[in-house]
Amino acid sequence: MQHTIGERRKIKEMWGWLFVLPTCIVLFLFVVYPICYTSFLSLCDYNFAFDKKPTFVGFKNFSNMFKDKQFLAALSNTLVFTVFMFSLLIVLSLAFALLLFHKKKRSWFYRTSIFMPIVVPASLICLLFTWMLADNFGIINKLLINIGLSRFTHNWLTDAKTARWWVIIVSIWGKVGFSTILFLSGIQSISQDMFEAAEIDGAVGWKKLFYIIIPNLSETFVVTGIWAILQCLKLFVTPNVLTKGGPGNATLVLYQTIYNEAFLNFEMGYASSIAFVLTALVMVFSLINLKMSRREN
Amino acid sequence: MPRKQKPLAAILTSFSLLIASLLFVLPIVFCIFTSFKESIEIIKDVTFFPHKWSLVNYDYVFVRGTKYLTYYLNTIIITVSSVAITLGLSSLAGYSFAKLPFKGSKVLLASILFVLAFPLAAILIPIYIMEYNLGILNTYIGLILPNLLLILPFSIFIMRGTFIDLSHELEDSAEIDGCNVPQTWWHIMLPLAQNALVIVLVSGFYSVWGEYTISKTLATKDSIMPISVALTLLKSEDWNYGVLAAAITMSIIPPITIFAIFQNSLVEGMAAGAVKG
């Protein structure tokens, strides 16, 4: 059976639709509809345990938010964590990528070790760290005693200051492999000619880094930056398993408050409005990242 | 002229890499070693290496502690189904976006990208309410479908990226031979996209295997919980680190093994997917 070109294009378009249809159904049910419903719920009072239906209350949730100590603590923690975690993630993964790039031969072990944590279930790693950091029988305190630094032993996760740092460290432990991959593949795609030309011009060591590698990575910085921002703002597993937001509110993050409000207190309306704030933060930070990298170009 | 590395720089590079690698590997090795220790040894005197190697913890997990096997099985069921569905959906949608353009297909693709940026928290509240009303909270299907969100967008980008690189001539000649679109997709294109399918499979596998947030929210019953959530809740009642270490070891070995096997293609695929996405 022969078809004209127009008919053939029509048939292809139809198959195109059919091929994406199942995906569309899943995404509509589990993304589009939920996003619309969250936006609506954020303007409602809705306790899932007691109320039959959400009642519309306008922007009350949003104004209440700024009187809520838990929320304010979570907001400031999230921002502080984001600043520290983001900078450490970028710096460390760039450093790892440069080291791996420098070491071309026999790097299988190093590469595997650095990348491996991304495939390990994060919650189980946190569990592992909680007992490595335990006061009495944790191996980290034990190690400090054995090397004669017993005055530095600490109940790491019950002290607000150290608990915060450990949340950041463990989160980075699990994530840095991915950004290292991104940076490494960015560096590897810089053309060899450029390196050779630079070497002839006398650029070695640090000069090569600042004049050749970093300027050529702007695209990678955008991708990695947005990825890292998302990871920082969406931080949940590490504080949830390591510290449950404690001690006090020291490691309480926005994601955790959303979880607490929605699934412990069943305040679906209020939780939705906090989720809305978090989503807005994600958008704003990604845009800032995009703008800044564009300007550098 | 071959470039000569300065010996000092080479040594420093290797040394820093070694330190970094140990920081990533040692906690895992410590966990594996702990799983072979008897509980008395763990509490009385912590050491890195076991004094006496013992299989008592594995015996507990596999022979006596049936609940661990349930968690393990739950993880396997959820992971296998989510990844299988994702393979199907993403290879269809990826092909459509690459080779069968229709009105609005670009917009649709961009909005799928947008999904990646949304924090799950914003989506999980309505999903919880919806699943409650449908009565599928604490069921496999109720856990599998939301898990698709986690891996489907990325997989679609990987598949699209691969299909788009395949030449149009293949399609045309298949058409001349009398293949319709699904036949071309199945017989000609899909076999050529094997590498991408492997990336989707492996990255999907470890994402769902270790997934925490969705299951923490939508699985509240012990009988349906995957191991990534269940173990974190066990802590206080089963204060036995040896058994926990054995259970953790059992659940981190599969993803690590698969990663070690597929490392090269996976690393390339992840980088490409992130850049294209």
Whether B188 contacts chain A with CB within 8 A: no
**Candidates A13, A29, A110; nearest CB to B102:** A13
CATH number of the structural domain spanning residue B168: 1.10.3720.10
Residue B189 in domain? yes
**Candidates B231, B258, B271; nearest CB to A181:** B271
Write the ipTM: 0.85
pLDDT band at A247 (very low <50, low <70, confident <90, very high): confident
Whole-number pLDDT of residue B147: 93
Residue B105 in domain? yes
Contact A165, A238 (CB under 8 A): no
> What is the average pLDDT across A58-63?
86
Q: Of A92, A139, A137, which Cα lies nearest the Cα of A117?
A: A92
Residue B49 in domain? no
> What is the average pLDDT across B168-174?
82
Contact B241, B122 (CB under 8 A): no
pLDDT band at B12 (very low <50, low <70, confident <90, very high): confident
pLDDT band at A290 (very low <50, low <70, confident <90, very high): confident
Residue B59 in domain? yes
| pLDDT above 80: residue A71 | yes
Residue B42 in domain? no
Q: Do B263 and A142 touch (CB under 8 A)?
A: no
> What is the average pLDDT across A195-213?
76
Place of tokens 């930070």: A285
Beta strand A44-45 pairing with A55-56: antiparallel
Residue B5 in domain? no
Domains of chain A and any CATH numbers: 42-296 (1.10.3720.10)
Residue B34 in domain? no
| pLDDT above 80: residue A230 | yes
pLDDT band at A236 (very low <50, low <70, confident <90, very high): very high
Whole-number pLDDT of residue A297: 53
pLDDT tens by residue, B184-233: 888 888 888 888 898 899 889 989 999 999 999 999 888 899 999 988 88
> What is the average pLDDT across A32-55?
86
The DSSP secondary-structure symbol of B242 reads H
Exposed/middle/buried for residue B61 (C-beta within 10 Å: 0-12, 13-18, 19+): buried
| pLDDT above 90: residue B45 | no
B156 to chain A: which residues are within 8 Å by CB?
23
Whether B136 contacts chain A with CB within 8 A: no
Give, in degrees to the nearest 5, the angle at Cα A289 between A285 and A294. 150
Q: What is the mean pLDDT of chain A?
A: 86
| pLDDT above 90: residue A253 | yes
Count up the domains in chain B and report the number: 1
A178 to chain B: which residues are within 8 Å by CB?
270
pLDDT band at B104 (very low <50, low <70, confident <90, very high): confident
What residue of B is the nearest CA neighbor of A47? B129
pLDDT band at A2 (very low <50, low <70, confident <90, very high): low
pTM for the complete prediction?
0.87
Q: Do B182 and A126 touch (CB under 8 A)?
A: no
Contact B27, A128 (CB under 8 A): yes
B148 CA: distance to closest CA in chain A (Å): 8
Q: Whole domain around residue B97: which residue ranges? A: 55-276
